[in-house]
Amino acid sequence: MNTRTTDHRTHSPTDPGSGQLSAPYAEAVLAHAGRDWLRLNVPGHAAAPGSDLAGFFGSRITALDFPPLLDGIDLGPDTPLNKALALAAEAWGARRTWFLTNGASQGNQIASMVAPALGRTLVVQRSVHSSVIDGLVLSGMDAVFVQPSVDPEQGIAHGVTATDVAAALERTPDAAAVYIVSPSYFGAVADVRAIAETAHAAGVPLVVDEAWGSHFGFHPALPAGALSLGADMVTSSTHKLGGSLTQSAMLHVAEGPFADRLEPLVDRAFRLVQSTSASALLTASLDLARRSLFVDADATAGSVEAAGRVRNVVRALGRFGVVSDGFHAFPDIVRADPLRIALDTRAGGITGHEARRRLFRDHQIMVEVATDAAIVAVIGAGFVPDTDRFLEALHTLPSPLTESDTERSAMLQLPAPGPAKLTAREAFLSPTRVLPAEQAVGRISADTLAAYPPGIPNILPGEVITAEVVRFLQRTATAPNGHVRGALDLGVTRLRVVDGDTGHDPSRPEAG
C-alpha cells in the first residue's frame, strides 16, 4: 500500500532517493532473462532462439516472456513487482494500484463487480464503455443512467454535469456509486471535482473511467488526473496514451473516505478476473511507462506542442474544422485533452470514414477512429510523430461528397437509446430468440451492441430496441471500416431479443 497526499509534480525526479528513476519490475525481468536458463516450464516456446516467434519478433521478446510466480521478480516479500506497484501508486497519487493485463476493460469489470457491496444501484453515465455494461451483467446490479450531452453537428456524446448526477442520485436512494467517463473519446474533460463532491455529498464513491487520460497530471499543460480531483476509483488504460504495450492498464484506488472499504474488495475482485498467467512483457511495459511519464516531462511537452501545431495549421488552412473548438458550448466540458486531435472532415468535403480509408490506403497513415463527420488522431505522451506528413496527406484528400452524400452524412445522428425494462443481467440470462432486425424493433435486447470504436453501447441488454438505433448501427456497419461489436452478423440484419418479459417485474421502475 502506498499513500500520498501531494501532487506528484511537486517532486523533482532528480531528488536524492527518488525511486521514480527506477523501473524495478522491468529491470528484474531483464536481469532474469540475461541468465543462462534451461526453461522446462511455460511458456512453451522456452525462449528457444530457433523458434518461429524468435525469428519473427527477435529473440529478446521470447527471452523476456516469463510466467508469474518467480523468485526475485514477483514471489516473496518486497519484490520488484511490489516496488513497481508502489511507485505507480505514488506517481498517480493513489492509495493502491493494480497492474492489469486485460486492458482497462478488466478494471471496469472489477469496479462494477465490487459495487454491489456498497448498494443496489449504480448511477452510470449512459455513454460508458461496453466493458462497464459487461460488469453490470457480471454483478447483476440495477442501473440508473445519466444521459450525456450530445453534439448534434458531430453526432458524438460528451459527458455529464454534476447537476445531472445530483438529480439521478436524488431518485436513487439505494445508490452504490457514481460511474462516469472522463475524458471522452473525443477528448472532452468533465468537471470531475464537482461530480466527486456531488457523489460524496450523497454518501457514495465516484468511479472514473479515465481510460483515455492515463497521461493526465504529468505535465502542467495537461488536465489534472481524476484521482487528484476527488475520484475514489480510477481505471487507466495506460497503453492508450501512456506508452505501455497494448492490453496493459492500471486500476487505482484513492486515499479517501471509501478507501478502507474499497481496497480489500478490489483486491479480491482483481484475483477473480486477472489471469494466473499474467504477461511479464505487459507488466514490464507498465513499469517503464510509469517511469517515462514521471521522469521525462520535456518529452510530454514535445507531444503537446506537436498536437497543438497540427490544430493550428488546420485552423490556418481553413479546410477542416477542429472539433474541440466547439467544446465551450457544452456545460459538461471543462477542458480538452491537448493530445487528442479531432477534426471535422465533413467541413472539408469528405466524410470521416472516407478520409480514414484514404489515409490508410494511399498514405499508410493510421488514425484512431472515424465517424461520418470526423476523424480522431492521437499523439502518445512522450512521442512526436511526423506531423508534417499527416498534415500534407490530410490536405491532399479529395472532396468527393456530392450534395446527396452531404445530406446522408448529416442524417447519421447519434440516436437516443430506448428505455430500459430489465437489468443487464436479467436480459442477458433470459431465454432469447433471434429475429430479423425490423421485427426486433420494440422488443427487449439481450445483447450489447456498440458502434466500434469507440465501443460506447448503442443498445444495452434490457433496453428496448428502437428503429432509429437499428438504422444507425446498420449504417455504421456498412461504412468503410465500420464495425458493430456484439452483432450477430456483419450487416446487423438479425438481433437477439428477450423471449417475452422473463424476469421483468412490472412494479419496478425502469432501470434508466
Strand 374-378: give its sheet, edge to edge: 321-322, 340-344, 374-378, 369-370
Beta strands in 227-368 (DSSP E): 233-236, 249-253, 321-322, 335-336, 340-344
Residue 238 pLDDT more than 70?
yes
Domain spans of the chain, in order of start: 9-97+275-295, 297-411, 424-498
DSSP string of 68-126, one letter each residue:
S--BTTTBSTT-HHHHHHHHHHHHHT-SEEEEESSHHHHHHHHHHHHGGGT-SEEEEET
Mean pLDDT calculated for residue range 224-251:
96
Burial class (CB in 10 A: 0-12, 13-18, 19+), 219: buried
- Please tell me the predicted confidence (pLDDT) of residue 453: 67
Closest CA to 262 of 237, 225, 232: 232
pLDDT exceeds cutoff 70 at 79: yes
Judged by phi (left if over 0) then psi (alpha if -120 to 50, else beta), residue 280 lies in alpha
Distance CA 355, CA 370 (A): 8
Q: What is the pLDDT confidence band of residue 55, given thresholds at 50, 70 and 90? A: confident
Distance CA 217, CA 127 (A): 24
What confidence tier does 53 reach under pLDDT thresholds 50, 70, 90?
confident
CATH class of 297-411: alpha beta
Residue 339, all three cell numbers = 493530445
Average pLDDT of 339-352? 95
Mean pLDDT of 83-100: 98
Q: Please state the pTM of the whole predicted model.
A: 0.90
Task: Map grid coordinates 525462449 to a residue.
Answer: 47
Amino acid at 249: A
Query: pLDDT of 307-331, one tens digit each?
Result: 999 999 999 999 999 999 999 999 9
Q: Three-state DSSP class for 416? A: coil
User: pLDDT by residue (tens digit) across 356-374?
Assistant: 999 999 999 999 988 889 9
For residue 508, the model assigns a pLDDT of 46
pLDDT at 122: 98
Whether residue 480 is predicted with pLDDT greater than 90 in this model: the reply is: no
Please report, as a single letter, which amino acid is at residue 381.
A
| pLDDT (tens digit per residue) in 383-425 | 999 999 999 999 999 998 655 455 444 446 788 899 999 999 9
Rounded distance between C-alpha atoms, residue 273 and residue 426, angstroms: 21
Q: Which CATH architecture has domain 424-498?
A: Alpha-Beta Complex (3.90)
Evaluate if residue 246 carries a pLDDT over 80: yes
Q: How far apart are CA 198 and CA 70, in angstroms?
A: 45
Q: Distance (Å, rounded) from C-alpha 318 to C-alpha 306?
A: 19
Q: How much of the chain, in percent, has pLDDT values that exceed 70?
A: 92
Looking at residue 346, what DSSP letter applies? G
Q: How many residues does the chain have?
A: 512
CA 363/CA 167 separation, integer angstroms? 49
* Model confidence band, residue 501 (pLDDT cutoffs 50, 70, 90): low
**Residue 34 binned pLDDT confidence (cut-offs 50, 70, 90):** very high
User: How close are the terminal C-alpha atoms of the chain, in Å?
Assistant: 37
Q: Is the pLDDT of residue 88 over 80?
A: yes
pLDDT at 12: 45
> Is the pLDDT at 1 greater than 60, yes or no?
no
Q: Give the model's pLDDT for residue 50.
A: 82
Taking all residues of the chain, what is their mean pLDDT, rounded to a whole number? 90
* Amino acid 507: pLDDT: 42
* Residues forming beta bridges with residue 374, ordered by sequence position: 344
Which set of grid coordinates corresponds to residue 292?
517515462
Choice between 509 and 159, residue whose per-residue pLDDT is larger: 159
Q: Cβ(429)–Cβ(412) under 8 Å? A: no
- How far apart CA 422 and CA 405 sit, in angstroms, is 39
> Residue 57: pLDDT band by 50, 70, 90 thresholds?
confident
